[in-house]
Amino acid sequence: MTHVDGQVDPQVLRVDLAVDVSALFTTRGGGASRPPYDGANLGLGVADDPGAVLANRAGVARVLGAPITWARAVHGRDVARVGEGGVLPAATPGDGGTPDVDALVTTERGRGVAALAADCVPVLLAATLAPDAGADAPAGPTLAVAAVHSGRRGLAAGVVPAAVAALGRAAHEALGRGAEASDVVLRAVVGPAICGRCYEVPQELRDEVAAVVPEAAATTSWGTPSLDLPAGVLAQLQAAGVDVRVLPVCTHEDPRFFSHRRDGVTGRFAGAIATRRTR
């Protein structure tokens, strides 16, 4: 869609997590950024024109159908909660007032959260009410959503398990007293990221990460040590009891996506999610 100011909304891949959830991964198509950030760069920390980035972010919010709280990745395991009063607990503000964390969780309907990436793994999660939950449960089936950035360091640090735990707590708080673990179903989509065929690392680094997440150990297509970040994230999600879908898209191989390993100076795409407002 083109708007009166000439801005073309970013092109996206929509994914299905729940009937009342809007979830997507952006591509580099559309947008207002110029080379080498063309076109839908969403990262404010990569020396792109801030005006173009903010226009691109506004386009993503239009496509998602909700205002978005953005996180700036710091490759840790901290999770922030987004509510009507802002980000809780208060985080060190990053570019444009965004929190310096790798995962955001919200129970607020009509509020989007997003995680940036350009080879690291973006993960979108939804906590939904189980079909057989009690009659006192809220009418809306989705209780909380989350967006997570998991790079090599975040994978080893456990940002994904931390986000799953925070999402589960938020969902049970939304249900109120007496909620059982079986009342909530957790679902996730693992987004586009560099694959094990392409992410070459030194042997020592592969061994270091594999000591924590064995499933991440891999070999490149040319026979050298590598890390398979999506496989590691998948293993962590499955171990936490999450129903997972993985998009089989390698950012290094697919020119639709920004890839720092492939291009060096480049932009950032995002995974974004929101629970739709009830009428």
**How confident is the model over 19-46, as pLDDT tens digits?**
999 999 999 999 999 999 999 999 999 9
Beta strands 121-129; 217-219: pairing state: unpaired
**How high is the pLDDT of residue 83?**
81
Report yes or no: 111 and 6 within 8 Å, Cβ to Cβ: no
Identify whether 277 is part of a domain: no
What domain range is 34 assigned to? 12-269
Q: With 50 as the cut, is the pLDDT of residue 122 above it? A: yes
Identify whether 48 is part of a domain: yes
Helix or strand run (H / E) with residue 218: strand 217-219
**How high is the pLDDT of residue 4?**
39
Identify whether 279 is part of a domain: no
Identify whether 110 is part of a domain: yes
- 200 or 276: which carries more pLDDT confidence? 200
Percent of the chain with pLDDT over 90: 78
Q: Report the C-alpha gap between 78 and 213 in whole angstroms.
A: 18
Identify whether 164 is part of a domain: yes
Q: How confident is the model at residue 229 (pLDDT cuts 50, 70, 90)?
A: very high
Q: What 3-state class would DSSP assign to 225? A: strand
DSSP state of 147: E
Q: Report the pLDDT averaged over residues 178-202.
A: 92
Distances (CA, A) of 42 to 119, 146, 214: 14, 18, 32
Q: How confident is the model at residue 237 (pLDDT cuts 50, 70, 90)?
A: very high
Sign of CA dihedral 227, 231, 234, 236: negative
**How high is the pLDDT of residue 118?**
97
Identify whether 52 is part of a domain: yes
Range in 7-11, 99-103, 227-231, 261-265 with the lowest mean pLDDT: 7-11
* pLDDT tens figures, 150-177: 999 999 999 999 999 999 999 998 888 6
Identify whether 190 is part of a domain: yes
Overall number of domains in the chain: 1
Identify whether 6 is part of a domain: no
CATH classification at residue 165: 3.60.140.10
Q: With 70 as the cut, is the pLDDT of residue 94 above it? A: no
**How high is the pLDDT of residue 84?**
60
Sign of CA dihedral 107, 112, 118, 119: positive
Q: What is the pTM of this model?
A: 0.91
Strand ordering across the sheet containing 68-70: 12-15, 21-26, 269-275, 112-117, 68-70
Q: With 90 as the cut, is the pLDDT of residue 136 above it? A: no
Sign of CA dihedral 89, 95, 97, 102: negative
